Amino acid sequence: MATIYEVSKLAGVSLATVSRVINKTAPVREATREKVEAAMKELGYRPNSVAQSLASNRSNSIGILVPELGGPFYAELLSRIENEFRRVGKHVIIAAGHSDEELERESIEFLRSRNCDALILHVEAVSDDYLRGLADAGCAFVLMNRLVEQLADRCINLDNLLGGYLATKHLLELGHRAIAYVSGPMWKRDAQERYQGHQRALQEFGVPFDSNLVFEGDYQETGGVKALQYFRSLDKPFTALVCANDEMASGAITTAHDLGMDLPSQLSVVGFDNVNFAHYTYPKLTTIDYPLGEIGHMAAQWVLKNVYQQPIKDIRAVFAPQLVIRDSTYRIN
């Protein structure tokens, strides 16, 4: 691979001049520029990004940490972010934290050791204190799906409460009154918020809250299975089910079929997230759309603005989810 030095020799100019035409960091006479460009072309020169990084103290890489690489949930997010950065010649380094504190820490350290210019974090196990420490250490990062006080200017969030509210409200408007709820793990903030939204909707419609009709799931498919079994074991009648995510909704739907229930006439189900398989279920799942793509886009914008000093207008900190009506909900009277 040709180096900048060989280019300079072939073009008959100095090393510095070649660097200038590459980076447009200072004016270069038109004739010289052409000579240099010709030389670069002839040698098939491509700048060595590692050397550039060392000299400029910028790696042009952005670290991304998400809970899972495997699931359907983060694919769109990653895709969007990757695109955004590639267009400007930067690349992303992706790691998975698996919702484990140790692993999340390790991953962050790994990314930092890679000299990432910035980190985009979707962490859930690591403490607020740790994150504050990270910020104090001068690490540039944005937080997705999390709100840490004092770090609010680097948080990009979904209004989970609104989402939970919309889900339950939809059912209420369809005439349902006995609405069961399958939450996520209550130690997760988003699970709590979605649940609060559910309660608020009930309250607004004057429907008394019944704690029997709540089941704490695990955000996995089996959570939905267990929840439905549990609810059926009660002798409380219920006509609708809100699940705090689509995986659980899917588990509930499958179980309902297995129990011989007809959907949606005997049971309406609403999910949350609108993951890519939501319309593969039968009936197709009505759910709350989580605009992950937009959130990823915004995270990228944050980095572009705050780390690479690009002129970005405004950063939006909180996104509103929307109800997506498909076939799994049914009007009753």
Partner DNA sequence: TTGTACGCGTTATCAA
Partner DNA sequence: TTGATAACGCGTACAA
Q: Does 115 bind its own copies (CB under 8 A)?
A: yes
Question: Binding marks (x or -) toward its own copies, 55..94, rule CB under 8 A?
Answer: ----x-x------xxxxx--xx-xx--xx--x----xxxx
Give the torsion sign (CA, 262, 268, 272, 273): positive
Stretch 189-208: interaction string toward DNA, x if CB under 7 A: --------------------
137 binds DNA (CB under 7 A): no
> What is the residue whose two structure tokens read 């074991």?
233
Cα distances (angstroms) measured from residue 68 to each of 22, 48, 61, 73, 285: 38, 32, 20, 8, 23
Region near DNA per CB under 7 A, out of 17-25, 216-224, 250-258, 271-279: 17-25
Sequence-distant (6+) residues with CB within 8 A of 240 are 171, 174, 176, 178, 179, 180, 267, 268, 269, 270, 329
Which span (4-12, 14-22, 113-121, 313-321) binds its own copies, by CB under 8 A? Answer: 113-121
Scanning 45-53, 59-67, 104-112, 206-214 for contacts with DNA by CB under 7 A, the matching segment is 45-53
Residue of 193, 169, 175 lying closest to 183 (CA atoms):
193
Give the DSSP H or E segment for 299.
Answer: helix 292-306
Size of the site for DNA (CB under 7 A): 32
The CA distance from 97 to 107, in Å, is: 7
By CB under 8 A, name the one of 14, 23, 25, 48 that touches its own copies: 48
Partner whose footprint covers residue 96, from DNA, its own copies, none (CB < 5 to 8 Å by kind): its own copies
The SS3 assignment for 12 reads coil
> Which is nearer to its own copies, 12 or 71 (by Cβ)?
71
Q: Which of 34, 41, 42, 54 binds DNA (CB under 7 A)?
A: 54
**Among residues 47 and 291, whose Cβ is nearest to DNA?**
47
Q: Copy the structure tokens of residue 257.
A: 């079929």
Q: Is 25 in the site for its own copies (CB under 8 A)?
A: no
218-to-159, 165, 189, 247, 249 alpha-carbon distances in Å:
20, 20, 13, 10, 12
Q: Which does 196 bind (CB under 5 to 8 A by kind): its own copies, DNA, none?
A: none
- Member of 24, 44, 57, 206 binding DNA (CB under 7 A): 57
| DSSP single-letter state for residue 153 | G
Q: Which member of 29, 136, 233, 237 binds DNA (CB under 7 A)?
A: 29
Q: How far is the CB of 162 from its own copies (least distance, A)?
A: 26
Q: What backbone phi and psi angles, to 5 degrees, belong to 275?
A: -70, 170
Q: Does 88 bind DNA (CB under 7 A)?
A: no
- On the 0-12 / 13-18 / 19+ scale of CB atoms within 10 A, 318 is middle
If you search the block for the tokens 């940490």, which residue do you land on? 65
Kindly tell me which residue out of 9, 22, 283, 332 binds DNA, with binding defined by CB under 7 A: 22
**Closest Cα partner for 167 from 188, 182, 146, 185?**
182
Member of 37, 43, 47, 112 binding DNA (CB under 7 A)? 47
For the chain, how big is the Rg over CA atoms in Å? 26
* Minimum CB distance to its own copies, residue 296 (Å): 11
Q: Which is nearer to its own copies, 31 or 50 (CB)?
A: 50
User: Which residue type occupies 72?
Assistant: P
Q: Does 17 bind DNA (CB under 7 A)?
A: yes
**Taking CB under 7 A as the rule, does residue 114 contact DNA?**
no
Minimum CB distance to its own copies, residue 57 (Å): 9
Distance of closest approach, residue 20 Cβ to DNA, in angstroms: 6
* Binding of residue 21 to its own copies (CB under 8 A): no
